[in-house]
């Protein structure tokens, strides 16, 4: 069973680890077989499961439902669950909603933002709830960014992201996710903080990698971002099976053959 201590040891030893999004039981069982290290019940379910254009319509009840599906079906992975859009604006509401997700089976609560989250992170840590802070391209802020765009480009933006990362870790964050930032910046953040950093479109130097499960099985609606690799049709997955795709992803991240330069941004 993967725990935060396992991930901290992986970081210390330089062992790269995996995360995949997952929303239902059968896939969670297959991920258990492939020994995927961590599972994220992402609010990306709003897009890949519910058919919305963004993650914004997802509710805490939706997240709790899918988190419970996974918790019943996978005993190997550390389970991360997203607090959805506007469900952590005030401390009391953030605490109540985190309780609901932890009681549904999450081990870690993921929240999007920067240093403005510090009070919440400390409050949750003191209440026995570890947090993972998602920085960079944070999909819940798509209307602030004006689209899904690479973040942290240029000295000022890079400095802000690095400062935010250090602040949330000092406040007690247990993990970070960095999405769609230049690989060089992701490397600098990973080296600057003591906690494990999980990247998506953030290059090969983060401690772990995460992909949306549907994307890595070749099921992407619309434009395929450059950080995605289709592990289902990869010729090394000789059976072309879903189990084989999960196992190949696990192996590729561990041995450092995914991601490559072609999957990263500068």
State yes or no: residue 200 binds ligand KIV (CB under 6 A): yes
End-to-end CA distance of the chain: 35
Please, what is the minimum distance in Å from the beta carbon of residue 179 to ligand KIV? 6
Stretch that binds ligand KIV, among 28-36, 40-48, 59-67, 254-262 (CB under 6 A): 40-48
Q: At 211, which helix (H) or strand (E)?
A: strand 208-211
State yes or no: residue 43 binds ligand KIV (CB under 6 A): yes
Residue 176: other Cβ atoms inside 10 A: 28
Give Cα separations from 96 to 45, 56, 83, 103, 144 (angstroms).
Answer: 21, 19, 11, 11, 26
Task: Show the CA angle centred on residue 77, arms to residues 75 and 83, nearest 5°.
Answer: 110
Please tell me which residue in 32, 93, 116, 179 is annotated as part of the active site: 179
Our measurement of the distance from residue 164's CA atom to the centroid of its chain's CA atoms, rounded to an integer in Å, reads 17
What binding mask, one character per residue, do residues 65-84 give for ligand KIV by CB under 6 A, x or -?
-----------------x--
Alpha helices per DSSP H over the chain = 4-13, 25-33, 45-48, 60-71, 91-104, 118-126, 142-145, 155-171, 183-192, 213-216, 242-255
Q: Annotated catalytic, 261?
A: no
Please, what is the minimum distance in Å from the beta carbon of residue 235 to ligand KIV? 26
Give Cα separations from 225 to 163, 220, 266 (angstroms).
Answer: 27, 9, 14
CB closer to ligand KIV out of 40 and 106: 40
Instruction: Give, as ranges, the residues between 83 and 102 that touch ligand KIV (CB under 6 A).
Output: none
Please, what is the minimum distance in Å from the beta carbon of residue 119 to ligand KIV? 22
Please, what is the minimum distance in Å from the beta carbon of residue 48 to ligand KIV? 8
State yes or no: residue 42 binds ligand KIV (CB under 6 A): yes
Please, what is the minimum distance in Å from the beta carbon of residue 157 to ligand KIV? 19
Rounded CA separation 181/15 (Å): 22
Rounded CA separation 169/175 (Å): 8
State yes or no: residue 140 binds ligand KIV (CB under 6 A): no
State yes or no: residue 37 binds ligand KIV (CB under 6 A): no
Stretch that binds ligand KIV, among 37-45, 86-94, 150-158, 236-244 (CB under 6 A): 37-45
Which residues are designated catalytic?
A: 179
Which residues sit at the interface with ligand KIV, rule CB under 6 A? 21, 40, 42-44, 82, 134, 177, 179, 200, 210, 212
């Amino acid at each position: 069973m993967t725990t935060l201590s396992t991930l901290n040891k992986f970081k210390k030893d330089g062992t790269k680890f995996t995360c995949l999004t997952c929303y239902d039981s059968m896939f969670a069982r297959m991920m258990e077989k492939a020994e995927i290290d961590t599972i994220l019940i992402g609010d990306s379910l709003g897009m890949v499961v519910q058919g919305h254009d963004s993650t914004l319509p997802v509710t805490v009840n939706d997240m709790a439902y899918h988190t419970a599906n996974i918790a019943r079906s996978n005993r190997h992975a550390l389970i991360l669950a997203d607090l959805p859009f506007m469900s952590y604006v005030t401390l009391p509401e953030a605490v109540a909603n985190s309780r609901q997700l932890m009681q549904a089976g999450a081990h870690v609560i993921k929240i999007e933002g920067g240093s403005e989250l510090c009070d919440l992170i400390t409050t949750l840590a003191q209440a026995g709830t570890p947090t993972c802070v998602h920085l960079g391209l944070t999909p819940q802020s798509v209307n602030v960014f004006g689209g899904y765009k690479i973040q942290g480009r240029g000295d000022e933006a890079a400095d802000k992201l690095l400062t935010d990362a250090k602040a949330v870790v000092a406040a007690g964050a247990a993990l970070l996710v960095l999405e769609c930032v230049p690989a060089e910046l992701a490397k600098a953040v990973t080296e600057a903080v003591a906690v494990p950093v999980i990247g998506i479109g953030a290059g090969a130097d983060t401690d772990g990698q995460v992909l949306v499960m549907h994307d890595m099985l070749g099921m992407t609606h619309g434009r395929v971002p450059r950080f995605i690799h289709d592990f289902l049709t990869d010729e090394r997955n000789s059976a072309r099976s879903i189990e084989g795709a999960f196992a190949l992803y696990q192996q590729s991240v561990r041995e450092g053959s995914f991601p490559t330069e072609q999957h990263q941004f500068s």
